[in-house]
Amino acid sequence: MSSERRKPYPFDEIEPQWQKIWEDRQLFHAPNPGENNFDSAKPKFYILDMFPYPSGSGLHVGHPEGYTATDIVARYKRMRGFNVLHPMGWDAFGLPAEQYAIKTGQHPSITTRDNIAKFKTQLQRIGFSYDWEREISTADPRFYRWTQWIFLQIYNSWFNPETQKAEPISTYLGSDPDEVRLAYVAEVPVNWCPDLGTVLANEEVVDGKSEVGGFPVVRRPMRQWMLRITAYADRLANELKDLDWPEGIKLLQRNWIGRSEGAEIKFTIEGHDGAIRVFTTRPDTIYGANYMVLAPEHPLVDRLTTEDRRTGVAKYREQVSSKSDLERTDLAKEKTGVFIGANAINPVTDEKIPIWIADYVLMGYGTGAIMGVPGHDERDLEFARKFDLAVMPVVQMQGKTAEESIGAIEDGIAINSPLINGLPTPEAKKKIIGWLEQNGSGRADIRYKLRDWLFSRQRYWGEPFPVVWESEPNRPHGKHRALDEKELPLIPPPLDDYKPTGTGEPPLAKAKEWVRYSEKATRETNTMPQWAGSCWYYLRFCDPQNDERFVGEETERYWMGGVGAGVSPANDKAEASKRKAADTAAASTGGVDLYVGGTEHAVLHLLYARFWHKVLFDLGYLSKSEPFQRLVNQGMILGEDNRKMSKRWGNVIDPLDVIAEYGADAFRCYEMFMGPLEQMKPWSMKGVEGVFRFLARVWRLIMIENQAGQWEMSPAVKDVDLSKAQQKILHATIKKVTEDIESLSFNTAISQMMIFVNAFTTANTIPILAMRPFLILLNPFAPHLSSELWERLGAKEEITDQSWPQHDERLLVEDEAEIVVQVKGKVRDRMTMSILATEEEMKTLVLANPKIQQLIAGKTVLKVVVVPRKLVNIVTD
């Protein structure tokens, strides 16, 4: 490595200079309504990156991919006259800092602060135009005070099924509000990792082991805080409709929510009072239900099992409970189960059907019980074959016999079903549900795969819950009560020892003083999960310094309101109440105008944030019911060997190494030139060099090295008019770059700029009039280089204050066009013709072409297809 080697252009000098200028002058600060330099005539544009967790290892090349894309759009939109909100912050609570604390004793806030400083330096070295005055950290009390405040709003609300909205808990008329709160406590099975001494989120458990350390994880019931996200299942699914998101991501969310329509059916039990309730999406197949299956954990099992079956049932349940979740689902190729001795009555046939337990029925979905219809359910069929149960077809497929229809799960015509025989599946469902309702045996029902959100963690480094437990005679744990919002922020106590207790009791429990709230009340010692801060950080960016409110009303309306909205009159009470009353569908556009980040957040962060947003919207705090109007996922960057970058393969690229060698501009441009933003693509150092050479050519278009080795303005740069050809390529470039930024096709925008530069490289004079607009086009991509050259060309104003050039369509039209001449669809010649030539003239010209005449000699011309300005196709026999 020869660091001595002369740089093809002095990026190492100019880049830090410009970064300093941008920081010193706070050039990219976006004024809020009410600020001095706020211009209400400017439309707003909110463009957001998914903020990073500031890990100890610093940025990798994946982060700046999305960040560069948004930075280009942000710089472009500013020059198009928008007031652009482009902020950056830190998702700063998280397990790594806590584990580092356990190892070293260093307080997580110190680790976090250092990592943030490192990340910020790195981001600034890439030249991003963030409004650093809006920097936030989720671990800052001034921020999490409001995270806790939002939790209080959720806690103090319920979901009114009548209005399909969250409402203050005071509007609930039932006897026990704790039954309906959107935040509640429940005893649920969680992922408990004994070695780490903590519960883990599902996403932290990989193949039954902890992601960190690879320790075994077991399911264990614990008292946990839950958020009632399932209340919003329908709205979360339905309101995706109007969002400008990739269809794949919408589908992922819909599948995650997993809405299925069907019926709940009651099966009475022979010799017992109670009934077994099942959920099915195919009530029309009920005549084929000749057995039932309960989940082994189903509460009725004990009561229903007959004496002679007890040992068998106990043995089977034992077997199942010793299996991990993984074994139970993955190894379940072969169906297992036992008959429990009891029988149920099929409500439509009045026939006795045996009740089994089997682990293919899960307690966690539906009612934890099913009716077995072997004729039309793959799993039931497998089960019936294994245990020799009868299989009867009750739906016949078109073009198949009844016998052949066994195993078919598609819609067909009901057979062997007296009440609904001959009806197509959809009608059969309706009719049978009607019958069940009339007979008190069932009703239409909707179920979701989505579960309520387990919202508490046994960790130190997270937001403490603003909740205390007051002792009450009849409750072993006491009764929860929310703190008053005046008591916020609730700051976690200092600890000497961050180690998990090992019992499942959170580390905060060790701070005895802190835990003791009053004579008869103790603090909640769980903390919130890492997702909490990211559920609303985009709102805080609008108004990060506000200590009166989580976000100022007018500010929220401005940034999170309609796209390109101006400012509405301040403090209009009537307006506000009208907004509250507005129905949710009508308010479902607006918000963050462009949100860029990885697909890994498709269901978790993006679903959680939408949920919180809707609650706050329902309670009247927000303008729109959806936070992120447009979403784009950047693709993953692979190593040069086409494998995922990892230490294991030694293929990790450090952005700072690339920048040291080629500069930030080359780094930015290469990341964008690699290929389409959303696509997965491998890194190539050679590719960086290619882009770097392009930037060096731009530099040398304008600068020349003198004898002394100093860069000075090239004498070729002159204040002269452009030739017609130059005029054309300039305007073609303006057009292409503009359109490509709008469509986020940055790779082709750069291609076009390369074409532009190639065209001027050979020119002996370089017209300033061509260079100035070009530098503006280049500025979002290579801000340092373009700023420096702009200044060297003697401009008085900053390049960032320029308005974006506009192309003149008239300069792009040609007098003549090259026409493709085809015979029977094959290209045989090309001819130049006036673009004004009529179809008839074009046809005549082509038929007069000797080469064509030769080719069609002796043949009959059946047809001539003429596409004006493009092509003539002669069809012969």
Q: Segment near RNA (CB under 7 A), from 410-418, 531-539, 548-556, 676-684?
A: 676-684
Q: Which of residues 178 and 808 has its CB atom nearest to RNA in the complex? A: 808
For position 279 contacting RNA by CB under 7 A, the verdict is yes
Shortest distance in whole angstroms from residue 758 CB to RNA:
5
Structure tokens at 804: 């974006």
For position 818 contacting RNA by CB under 7 A, the verdict is yes
Q: For strands 442-447 and 209-210, give the pairing.
A: unpaired
Site string for RNA, 471-510 (x = CB under 7 A): ----------------------------------------
For position 802 contacting RNA by CB under 7 A, the verdict is no
Residues 430-449 that bind RNA (CB under 7 A): 447, 449
Site string for RNA, 326-345 (x = CB under 7 A): --xx--x--x----------
Mapped onto helix, strand or coil, the DSSP state of residue 252 is helix
Shortest distance in whole angstroms from residue 259 CB to RNA:
9
Q: Segment near RNA (CB under 7 A), from 85-93, 150-158, 207-215, 674-682?
A: 674-682
For position 750 contacting RNA by CB under 7 A, the verdict is yes
Site string for RNA, 545-564 (x = CB under 7 A): --------------------
For position 585 contacting RNA by CB under 7 A, the verdict is no
Q: Segment near RNA (CB under 7 A), from 35-43, 411-419, 555-563, 675-683?
A: 675-683
CB atoms near residue 229 (< 10 Å):
24
Which of 83, 82, 87, 106 shows the shortest CA–CA distance to 96?
Answer: 106
Residues 378-417 that bind RNA (CB under 7 A): 379
**Of positions 53, 465, 673, 804, contacts RNA by CB under 7 A:** 673
Q: Segment near RNA (CB under 7 A), from 182-190, 191-199, 580-588, 681-689?
A: 681-689
Q: Distance between CA atoms of 398 and 25, rounded to whole angstroms?
A: 74
Q: Which of residues 361 and 539 has its CB atom nearest to RNA in the complex? A: 361
| Helices and strands, counts by H and E, the chain | 27, 37
Residues 824-853 that bind RNA (CB under 7 A): 824-827, 830
Residue 457 CB partners (closer than 8 Å, separation 6+): 198, 199, 201, 506, 526, 527, 528, 529
**Of positions 180, 252, 402, 833, contacts RNA by CB under 7 A:** 252
Residue with tokens 């693709």, as numbered in its chain: 635
Give me the half-sphere count of Cα atoms (radius 13 Å) on the Cβ side of residue 520. 8
User: CA separation (Å) from 826 to 245, 808, 851?
Assistant: 41, 36, 14
Helix runs in 245-337, H state only: 247-257, 301-304, 310-322, 325-330
Enclosing H/E stretch for 770: helix 768-778
Which of 680, 664, 595, 589 shows the shortest CA–CA distance to 632?
Answer: 595
Q: Segment near RNA (CB under 7 A), from 13-21, 83-91, 245-253, 723-731?
A: 245-253
Shortest distance in whole angstroms from residue 861 CB to RNA:
11
Residue 456 CB partners (closer than 8 Å, separation 6+): 224, 225, 465, 526, 527, 528, 529
Q: Which of residues 421 and 684 has its CB atom nearest to RNA in the complex? A: 684
DSSP-assigned beta bridge partners for residue 84 = 45
For position 377 contacting RNA by CB under 7 A, the verdict is yes
Site string for RNA, 28-67 (x = CB under 7 A): ----------------------------------------
Shortest distance in whole angstroms from residue 262 CB to RNA:
5
Q: Distance between CA atoms of 725 and 727, rounded to whole angstroms?
A: 5
Per-residue exposure over 120-147, b if at least 16 CB sit within 10 Å of its own CB, e if not: bebbbbbbbbbbbebbbbbbbeebbbbb
Shortest distance in whole angstroms from residue 607 CB to RNA:
12
**Of positions 751, 765, 834, 849, contacts RNA by CB under 7 A:** 751
For position 691 contacting RNA by CB under 7 A, the verdict is yes
Residue 523 CB partners (closer than 8 Å, separation 6+): 464, 467, 468, 469, 508, 514, 515, 516, 517
For position 426 contacting RNA by CB under 7 A, the verdict is no
